[in-house]
Structure 1
């Protein structure tokens, strides 16, 4: 069996000033590639319920809502604020503005990775890292890869944290870690490679301790500011302590494991150009990339945290994978780079075509339901949608009757987890008391049971069943969702 000879490591060209035109040539190319890979994101009004949730949150914040009080979610505040700002500047009738911001976030991530690779291995490696990242970044189910949600806006901060640590700027690295955490909690996993880089390159003794303190100060200040701008107790509860039942492996174990396996395989296909060089380099040479392996390992742990394995979680793996692939290509024959890019481009084209051509039946259902809700209510009416698709509120342009935008917060049903840990007893602590008070204070004009046979239907959730029996009667049905209108006037005689 013939073995491909290993080429000597290619010489590293020292980084040259940007004035030479390196970035002037690279950035437009990366921008064009970022737009091409995310073209499918613009062809549909929404891609997944997370986008719908964020859109509804942004509207409620614009109407005077308070995050973690009248508007709640198990996420930090940065992305809801970003949606709110985009809607304020460009309107809230479509998600085009946040889709453009998502393209910018991917471009920024690619540029930071290119800068990291260029500093370590030269100009060619910088170009390779940026291109490989963008090609791999859409390698999942389009509803995960093309949506403008938490992970997409988290990735630039994770790349920036490593970039700053690589240049021994601990305070800025800490601020970037904080921004990653404030986009999504698992963004804090990048702290592992950041600490490694600072500790490895820092002066021993007091010098290292000072850098760690600057890192802590840089990370702590933005998080503390976010807590104070919202409410400290609400911030801690909704981002850290209030998700115990959600972050559990119990319930639908086989379903969850199959989902994790499927998404791992999808990402492996997307990384068809990256993984073979990494495997070969591991067999024949050391790449000197301990920090990148730590970055990948900590990101993998973050993906597994909570035991849900949703596809969009896997986006966190793509930056370290792109850099590891670039590192591996430096010790392999030069033609392997072209082959890696070609393989990644072919895989990327398949995922882009998938996003452009595949129908989205759940979106079609949400749009039909939204039309029914609009037809049966007035613009000022409040509506209760009992389901897992908060985008219907946004599509119907109606105000939610409760701060809990999905039945998941009141039953612990989440993304197909339908085992024994679904029901009122597994709801967010105190949620049912608040929910009942909200409906008693301002009863919704319309209630929609969109459970469609799922384990959070009224027959299994007595609290919701009591809501329906408290003055509502069925008046229609849309694709299995039952629409209920008020059968009496609480303010009447």
Structure 2
């Protein structure tokens, strides 16, 4: 017990939140019955909270980018050579595998996998909390996590994208480290990094757990081997130099804080406030316990701190970055609630459930104007091109390629890679010279070798408009003419010998 029987909740000052028990004995029955009762509840919660994800074909440009990458890989593309992005390979491979098994016309299997990923994360958090603080704390951790897991803009929480598949890897890393399985912990950290670079932040609390028990060469070696093996294998399975460039060294301009500082900071504060509202049931008990008790769960605070540092990395503060904070928040909530009166747990779950209902309704009812715009563009492109034609969408919505079922004319699927435009950045660091190093010569060669049948300028007044991009402006002036507008986007058709217009085709 954490306090003598005579201690009242108000006299909890000086209590210590305990660390892992050396030998956990389940309360009130066998281990199996606990999970038989709890797993159906967690599965139902996972399905309910991700119900909005099935309403739309896709939720954000990340899903669109991954879908287009998977198609390019299926057509013989090579990752980090003819198929490029600033992300590690694990999730693109996951999309490619799903498309190979179920076809490339739907993301439903990946949405189902995202539900499974959230359920697995919750199960691992239950196991972590249960080993430390008992059965009730385990249930609390799992339920709280799933309730807050959609506590951001639906485009950030409902997408089957990088962070959702990263989270079970980070939770697995902590689960393995908690049990001193250092090789497996290293492998889980590697998988988190290979899902998204910031997933590697969980290495910090894992290393702390190694050091807490006294560092031995054997433990450190197992952790290093588990971490290095999968990363090295991923590099060798792709292009090693391309892997290093696209995942580590090639994003200097993207990570710069220069450009639209107030806009970016405002987005960061808004997303932090939205997450705080989603966690309104958790924050008060955590704050109360901080005031009345000494917390011994240092690795959980370190996990939260390293995740917060990962959110800050890159200075963009997109909402989906904040998903990384949710597992440690749920565990800290369970840690606080298990030393407070039971009614505080009921209150925390009730408040979290009400907040979850609001976010669930938001996801189910909110309109998707950008998806509707991309769908209209895709319909226009399909009507004006043949299935084997290549097209170029000059914008930041690569999902249009997938919706139109047309191959991209370039490996660079967004204007952001070529101009450094991202997340509302409209300051001085947007333009050709701020694009990915070496991208423009490759891009010009691609368009010269395989000119796109259509170019769709979807900049709509953004700072990467062709008027501010000389190379693209010259291309359009020499070989293309505008034929129509779709919701502010300008559709250009190729003219001259060999083009549909030059042959008298309908433009």
TM-score, normalized by length of structure 1? 0.96
CA distance in structure 2 between the aligned counterparts of 1:271 and 1:265, rounded to whole angstroms? 10
CA distance in structure 2 between the aligned counterparts of 1:6 and 1:357, rounded to whole angstroms? 46
Pick from 234, 239, 250 the counterpart of residue 242 of structure 1.
250
**1:161 maps onto 2:192 in alignment:** no
Deviations 1:180-221 (A, max 9, x none): 00000000000000011111124x5xxx23211110110000
The corresponding residue for 1:436 is 444
Deviations 1:111-137 (A, max 9, x none): 000000000000111100000000111
CA distance in structure 2 between the aligned counterparts of 1:209 and 1:320, rounded to whole angstroms? 29
The corresponding residue for 1:279 is 287
**1:262 maps onto 2:270 in alignment:** yes
CA distance in structure 2 between the aligned counterparts of 1:290 and 1:63, rounded to whole angstroms? 48
Pick from 50, 74, 79 the counterpart of residue 86 of structure 2.
74
The corresponding residue for 2:387 is 379
The corresponding residue for 2:409 is 401
The corresponding residue for 1:105 is 117
The corresponding residue for 2:428 is 420
The corresponding residue for 2:484 is 476
CA distance in structure 1 between the aligned counterparts of 2:228 and 2:30, rounded to whole angstroms? 33
CA contact (8 A) 1:161 1:177 kept: yes
Deviations 1:221-270 (A, max 9, x none): 00000000001000000000000000010000000000000000010011
Report the aligned-residue RMSD: 1.7
The corresponding residue for 1:24 is 36
Counterparts in 2 of 1:59-70, with a 5 A limit? 59-70=71-82
CA distance in structure 2 between the aligned counterparts of 1:263 and 1:435, rounded to whole angstroms? 35
Deviations 1:6-39 (A, max 9, x none): 5688999933396541111111110110000000
The corresponding residue for 2:318 is 310
Task: Decide whether aligned partners of structure 1 residues 84 and 473 sit closer, same or farther in structure 2, where only a CA change above 3 A counts.
Answer: same
Task: Decide whether aligned partners of structure 1 residues 20 and 399 sit closer, same or farther in structure 2, where only a CA change above 3 A counts.
Answer: closer
Deviations 1:447-471 (A, max 9, x none): 0000000000011110110121121
Gaps of 5+ in 1: none
CA contact (8 A) 1:6 1:332 kept: no
Deviations 1:419-455 (A, max 9, x none): 1100001000000000001011100000000000000
More deviation, 400-409/268-277: 268-277
Tell me, what secondary structure is at the counterpart of 1:120?
helix
Pick from 138, 142, 151 the counterpart of residue 126 of structure 1.
138
Counterparts in 2 of 1:169-188, with a 5 A limit? 169-188=181-200
The corresponding residue for 2:4 is none
Tell me, what secondary structure is at the counterpart of 2:295?
coil
CA distance in structure 2 between the aligned counterparts of 1:27 and 1:15, rounded to whole angstroms? 19
**1:149 maps onto 2:161 in alignment:** yes
1:348 to partner: Cα distance:
0.5
**1:5 maps onto 2:10 in alignment:** yes
Following TM superposition, the consecutive aligned residue runs of length 4 or more in structure 1 with deviations greater than 4 angstroms are: 6-13, 490-493
Tell me, what secondary structure is at the counterpart of 1:257?
helix
The corresponding residue for 1:14 is 24
TM-score, normalized by length of structure 2? 0.94
Tell me, what secondary structure is at the counterpart of 2:467?
coil
Task: Decide whether aligned partners of structure 1 residues 18 and 392 sit closer, same or farther in structure 2, where only a CA change above 3 A counts.
Answer: farther
Tell me, what secondary structure is at the counterpart of 1:251?
coil
The corresponding residue for 2:3 is none
Tell me, what secondary structure is at the counterpart of 1:459?
helix
Tell me, what secondary structure is at the counterpart of 2:455?
strand
CA distance in structure 2 between the aligned counterparts of 1:71 and 1:20, rounded to whole angstroms? 46
CA distance in structure 2 between the aligned counterparts of 1:267 and 1:346, rounded to whole angstroms? 14
Task: Decide whether aligned partners of structure 1 residues 332 and 278 sit closer, same or farther in structure 2, where only a CA change above 3 A counts.
Answer: same
Tell me, what secondary structure is at the counterpart of 2:391?
strand
CA distance in structure 2 between the aligned counterparts of 1:428 and 1:115, rounded to whole angstroms? 43
CA distance in structure 2 between the aligned counterparts of 1:482 and 1:400, rounded to whole angstroms? 17
1:490 to partner: Cα distance:
5.0
1:415 to partner: Cα distance:
1.5
CA contact (8 A) 1:370 1:392 kept: yes
Pick from 51, 63, 70 the counterpart of residue 51 of structure 1.
63
CA distance in structure 2 between the aligned counterparts of 1:211 and 1:55, rounded to whole angstroms? 40
CA distance in structure 2 between the aligned counterparts of 1:270 and 1:286, rounded to whole angstroms? 26
CA distance in structure 2 between the aligned counterparts of 1:92 and 1:445, rounded to whole angstroms? 23
Tell me, what secondary structure is at the counterpart of 2:36?
helix
Task: Decide whether aligned partners of structure 1 residues 51 and 10 sit closer, same or farther in structure 2, where only a CA change above 3 A counts.
Answer: closer
CA distance in structure 1 between the aligned counterparts of 2:218 and 2:165, rounded to whole angstroms? 30
CA distance in structure 2 between the aligned counterparts of 1:307 and 1:116, rounded to whole angstroms? 31
CA contact (8 A) 2:9 2:340 kept: no
Pick from 327, 346, 349 the counterpart of residue 335 of structure 2.
327
